[in-house]
Amino acid sequence: MESDESKAGRDAEITRLLLRCGVWAGPFYLTVGLAQTILRDGFVFARHPLSVLTNGPGGWIQTVNFVLTGFMVLGASVGFGRMLGRKARAMRWFLGGFGVSMIVASIFPADPVDGFPPGTPLGPPTSISTTGLVHFIAGVLGFAFLAISYFFAARTMRWL
C-alpha cells in the first residue's frame, strides 16, 4: 500500500509535468512550424500562415504539430486545475478551449493559398471550403480563448 507522503509526491510530480507541457507548447509549435518554413518548397513566411503547412507532401507534420500542441495545452489546463483548484476554473476552461481549437484545426486543414503548396494559383483564394472555414473559425475562437484565459490568469494570480 502506498503511503500518503508517496502519493502526494507522485501527484505533485504529475502536476509539474502537466504545467511543463504548457511551457513547452509554444516553443514546440513554433520550432516545428519554423523548421517547416525552411524545409518545405514554395512556403514563403511573409505570404503564408503556418496553417497552410497542413497541405501538400509533408502536411502530416503540421497536422501532428497541431495535435501535440493542443494536447500539451490541455495538459497545462489540467495542471493549473490541480495546482490552483476552483479559483482557476475560468482560466482553465478558456485555456482548454484553446487546446481543443488546435486539435480541431488539425482535423480540418486550412485551404491551400497563394502558391502553397506548389501548383496552387497565386493570389488570394476566390472561395473557401467547408474544412477551411472550420479551420479558420477554430483559429479565431482559439486565439480569443487564449487571450481571455490570460485575463482570468491575471485575476487568479492576483488572489494568490
34 within a domain of the structure (yes/no): yes
Torsions phi, psi for 116 (to 5 deg)? -125, 130
pLDDT in tens, 63-113: 999 999 999 999 999 999 999 998 899 999 999 999 999 999 999 999 999
132 within a domain of the structure (yes/no): yes
What range does the domain containing 59 cover? 22-158
pLDDT in tens, 12-52: 999 999 999 999 999 999 999 999 999 999 999 999 999 99
Q: 4 falls in which pLDDT band (50, 70, 90)?
A: confident
139 within a domain of the structure (yes/no): yes
Please count the structural domains in the chain.
1
14 within a domain of the structure (yes/no): no
pLDDT in tens, 110-124: 999 999 999 999 988
Predicted confidence (pLDDT) at residue 159 exceeds the cutoff of 80: no
SS3 of residue 113 by DSSP: strand
Helix (H) or strand (E) holding 19: helix 4-39
126 within a domain of the structure (yes/no): yes
Predicted confidence (pLDDT) at residue 160 exceeds the cutoff of 90: no
Q: Mean pLDDT score of the chain, rounded to an integer?
A: 94
For the entire predicted model, the pTM comes to 0.91
65 within a domain of the structure (yes/no): yes
7 within a domain of the structure (yes/no): no
5 within a domain of the structure (yes/no): no
Where does residue 85 rank: exposed (0-12), middle (13-18), buried (19+ CB within 10 A)? exposed
Give the pLDDT of residue 6.
82
